[in-house]
Structure 1
Amino acid sequence: MTTSLLGQTDRGPELRPTRLRKWAPLPVLMIATTMAILDFFIVNVALPDIQSELHTGSATVQWVVAGYGLTMAIFLISGGRLADRYGRRLVLAIGIGIFAIASLACGLASGPGLLIAARLVQGVGGALMSPTVLAIIGALYFGADRRRALGVYGLVMGGAAVGGQLIGGLLINADLLGTGWRAIFLINLPLSALALALLRIVPPSRAAARRPVDLVGLALVGAALGMMMLALVQGRAMGWPLWSWLSLAAAGALLGGAVVQQRRLAARGAAPLFDPAAFVSRTVRAGLLATLIYQANQPPLYLILALYLQQGRGMGPVGSGLVFSVIAAGYLITSLPAPSLTHRYGRRVLVAAAAILVVGFAVLAGTLLRIGDGGPVAALLPALMIIGLGQGLGLNSLTALVIAGADPDHVGAVAGVQATVQQVGAAVGVAMLGLVFFGLADHGLGFAFAVSALVLAGLMIVVGLLSRLLPAGSGLR
């Protein structure tokens, strides 16, 4: 996804804006970033209303959340390749257009099948937008300016993720023109229109080396991830029939086939989706595994917390969103200094983040076991603040550490794969934690949430252990 960001770029005259106009494109890029990230999380507070109006069950809830991340993960790398090949501004415009049309379809969906299909298409639009935004930042900004631009990008991403629930709650409560939960999707229409109208501010650019998209590799990876998600979500809902186990086995075989196919392409000097040479380093492999596991904590936590607050405690969307604002506050406190701390202290920052999250999830589990589906919701706030502090520190540090451990010649490839792994972790995390939460829901949502929190604590312990294989020194690049 970010080969253009950190690799070779066609730095023609159009990529050297005057000092006065240097920062003008950044707000436009951040609108696209906000939409792409916000729509993964904004749906959480709307899920009870969606279930009620569309008369659907827990499997649909998981697909509405995870389906977006699934298609985004599948098409991220190809989105970056298309932007490099055909022009970044053009591909960004197409991505925004697809996202807007899919958002309209979500807002007009009359049934769960239509809503899920529209969410899958939304993910494709997001996959075209996200890597293209990063590539444009890499083409426009250099040195200290690039670090500042990426700092804004990270802050916007985090703010959209942790603030999405409150924004969604306010939109649903406002009930604009009687749209209810549909407003969380329809709000993307004016934002998309604004971004497209201002897109002329962004200078055109494309990569000097324009590699083709590996359609076979894309199909293998996409089929593998799709079959795995289908088995984990629908298999649980249907009582684990034989086809679900066969689907999991087929997913593993397809992933194995994708690895073989990528190696053969690389050996022939072709352009694989994932260059195997980039992952020879044990540090990179450990970092990507840590990324996969780490990313499985945030999206499922937000999904489960929203369901617990609204279905278990009877809170409305706005009240639920206000509870989420506690996580947002913690996130913002630590996300701002995280890059400089990681630059100085290396992997110790990730170890600290993982430890904070373990404590936060343990405190959350203990509180839930004590109050169950009753007691004051305020009792959850200390644990949620701790979790927010850990998430703000961990996400930024993990990204920097994986890039720092990569060979300089393969930094772009590793960055692109890491972005894909983040989305895979999010989608699979929703499916896997859904097995725990929905499987135990008959014992009370508080109990199911508590056990889920303990599982998340265990995952963060694994992240802490893996971090020992990441760069340790100060002055990371």
Structure 2
Amino acid sequence: MTTHPLPAATAHRRRWPGLAALLLGEAMNLLDATVVQVAAPAVHADLGGPVSDVQWYGAAYTLPFAVLLITGGRLGDIAGRRRMFVLGVTVFTAASVACALAPAPGLLIAFRAVQGAAAALIIPQTIGLIKAMFSGEETAKALGSIGPVMGLAAVCGPVVGGVLTHADLFGSSWRSAFLVNVPVAAVVLALARNLPENRAPHRPPLDWPGTILAALGTGLLVYPLIGGNLRELPLQGWLLMTAGLLVLAVFARQQSRTPRPLLEPSLFTHRGFPAALVTSTAFFAVTNGLTVVVVLQLQLDAKRGVLTSGLSLLPWSAGLALASWWAGSRLVRRYGRRVMPYGLGVLLAGLLAAVVAYRTTTEPGHFPVALLPALALIGLGAGLFTPAFFTLALRPLRPHEVGSAAGLLNAVQQLGATLGVAVLGSVYLSGSGAHAPQATCWVAAALLTVAWVASGRVGTGEGG
């Protein structure tokens, strides 16, 4: 790993402001993705166009974000992680202003795609830069701070979107939901001066055939799922997903044969890294899919507004923030890999408590009060799991593998989130009455079992 050194005292002072820049950058991207979920109906009412555009206001961001994450990680290896982070934030800010000024739905969708591509430059750099700035026990503490920040951003996004759109500041309506990125990005860029420049020790060339195959395969796989219902997915959607899997199989074969692969082949000699990919996919499918279902149930069945449903997720966010800080600063250091199954066990207990809460609240229009402590348990479990997982998943890796690993972990996280929304959302929407959210929790528990089994190998050494 190549890092431009600073005097020890200066480097020590700059670590925490640098970490704040990384966390704010991640939060800004997640906040933007969730803010638009609430603002989209107002956008459609203002700009017009077909109703399907409402789905694309979110999908146009998600799709390029997912398919370019691996490439973004490799670009950090080649050109420098700090440089790519700053470039991504700059382009993201310019695209946010363009979104706010967009006069037509087609232009807004195009600018959202630019935002997603810029986010793919920002996110993969975080883990590599944290590992460059911190060492030893402080690495786990720094990684542990990702969970609470992302949890708060995920929960605050819908609330912020609803408040800003409703406030109609200076007649801006939904446009303020994009303009809010500008002051946040200004703070990120100011703090980014504290980041060290960091890249792989030997600059690997960018594998363009691999980049195209990875983007095409992931795009074909994810595209039919965005805004879709698996139960009602047409034949064309299944064919596209099958084609995506075939293209990804070609990509895997191409990577094993090319002398300049996009993914470091040595990643897969670590028997724990493929397990980390499976664990990440299943875990984030549960957490992201369940969040959407909770909000849908509160709005459709309990007849609560957007603000109430957003605030109802605060116990989840608080539990995640507390447990993630505790695990990152103390538990991972003391108990190591044992923290992961404990976290998943607490999360499972929260799912079972949610089943009981939904079973005891069967009348339409009634708010499931017992759901709030269940969500707190789910947050605690997720918070215990996350810092332990990311610390152990990256621990066996060598410096030149970090960029590819970070990009791939983020890509499967995004894929898992999309799959979770599609699968759990489909289970909920195809169900009836109080049984629908209960069925969703049971499916989530099955996915969590997959994560638990795979997590047993995360962080293990090289070889088969």
State if a TM-score over 0.5 links the two structures.
Answer: yes
In 1: Cα distance, 2:200 partner to 2:456 partner? 36
Contact preservation (8 Å) 1:342, 1:397: yes
Question: For the Cα contact (< 8 Å) 1:166–1:325, is it kept in 2?
Answer: no
Counterpart in the other structure of 2:373 = 382
Q: Per-residue CA shift, 1:29-79, capped at 9, x if unaligned?
A: 333222123233344444665676677999766655555344223222322
Task: Check the 8 A contact 2:147/2:383 in 1, yes or no.
Answer: no
Secondary structure at the counterpart of residue 266 of structure 2 = helix
What residue number does 1:247 align with?
240
AA partner of residue 102 (structure 1): A
Residue 439 (structure 1) aligned with residue 434 (structure 2): no
Checking the alignment, whether the CA contact within 8 Å between 2:140 and 2:332 is kept in structure 1 is: no
Equivalent residue in structure 2 for 1:364, among 354, 372, 378: 354
Task: From 31, 34, 42, give the equivalent of 1:38.
Answer: 31
Structure 1 stretches lacking a partner, 5+ long:
1-7
d(CA) in 1 for partners of 2:354, 2:48: 31
Letter in 2 for 1:126: A
Q: Distance in 2 between matches of 1:238 and 1:450?
A: 18
d(CA) in 2 for partners of 1:448, 1:180 = 35
Q: Write the distance in 2 (CA, Å) between the matches of 1:238 and 1:54.
A: 31
- Equivalent of 2:268, from 275, 279, 283? 279
* TM-aligned CA deviation for residue 90 of structure 1: 3.3
SS of 1:224 mapped into structure 2: helix
Q: Report deviation, 1:264.
A: 0.6
Counterpart of 1:424 in structure 2 is 415
Instruction: Please give the per-residue CA displacement for 1:127-171, whole angstroms capped at 9, x wherever unaligned.
Output: 111223444434444445545444444443333234434444443
TM-score after normalising by structure 2: 0.85
> Which residue of 168, 189, 194 corresponds with 1:196?
189
One-letter amino acid of the counterpart of residue 226, structure 1: G
The answer to which of 191-200 and 214-223 deviates more is 191-200
Gaps of 5+ in 2: none
Question: Do the aligned partners of 2:155 and 2:313 also contact (CA within 8 Å) in 1?
Answer: yes
Contact 1:162 1:331 in 2 (8 A): no
Evaluate the alpha carbon distance shift between residue 386 and residue 302 of structure 1 in structure 2; reply closer, same or farther with a 3 A threshold: same
Correspondence for 2:169 among 137, 159, 176: 176
Q: Superposition pairs for residues 322-341 of structure 1, below 5 Å?
A: 322-339=311-328, 340-341=330-331
What do residues 299-333 of structure 1 show as CA deviations (whole Å, max 9, x unaligned)? 22222322332344333333222111111111122
* Match in the other structure for 2:65: 72
Q: Which amino acid aligns with 2:335?
A: Y
Is the contact made by 1:355 and 1:460 (CA closer than 8 Å) also made in structure 2? no
Please report how far the alpha carbon of residue 255 of structure 1 lies from its aligned counterpart in structure 2 after TM superposition. 0.8
Tell me what 1:292 maps to: 281
Find the partner of 2:309 among 301, 320, 343.
Answer: 320
Deviates more, 1:90-99 or 1:168-177: 168-177
Distance 1:21 1:177 in 2: 38
Aligned match of 1:4: none
By how many angstroms is 1:383 displaced? Answer: 1.6
Q: Find the partner of 1:186 among 176, 179, 199.
A: 179
Determine helix, strand or coil for the equivalent of 1:374: coil
Count of matched residue pairs: 459
Structure 2 equivalent of residue 95 of structure 1 = 88
2:220: which partner in 1? 227
Name the stretch that deviates more: 326-335 or 9-18.
Answer: 9-18
C-alpha displacement of 1:463: 1.6
Measured in 1, the distance between the counterparts of 2:77 and 2:146 equals 20
1:394 maps to which of 385, 390, 403: 385
- The Cα offsets for residues 190-212 of structure 1, whole Å up to 9 and x where unpaired, read as 22234335544545554432122
The answer to whether the Cα contact below 8 Å between 1:436 and 1:448 also exists between their aligned partners in 2 is: yes
SS at match of 2:2: coil
- For 1:1-21, what per-residue CA distance to the aligned partner results, in whole angstroms no more than 9, with x for missing partners? xxxxxxx11334589836555
- TM (norm. structure 1) is 0.83
User: Could you say what secondary structure the match of 1:315 adopts?
Assistant: coil
- The letter for the 1-side match of 2:454 is L
Sequence identity of aligned pairs in percent?
37
Aligned partner of 1:334: which letter?
A
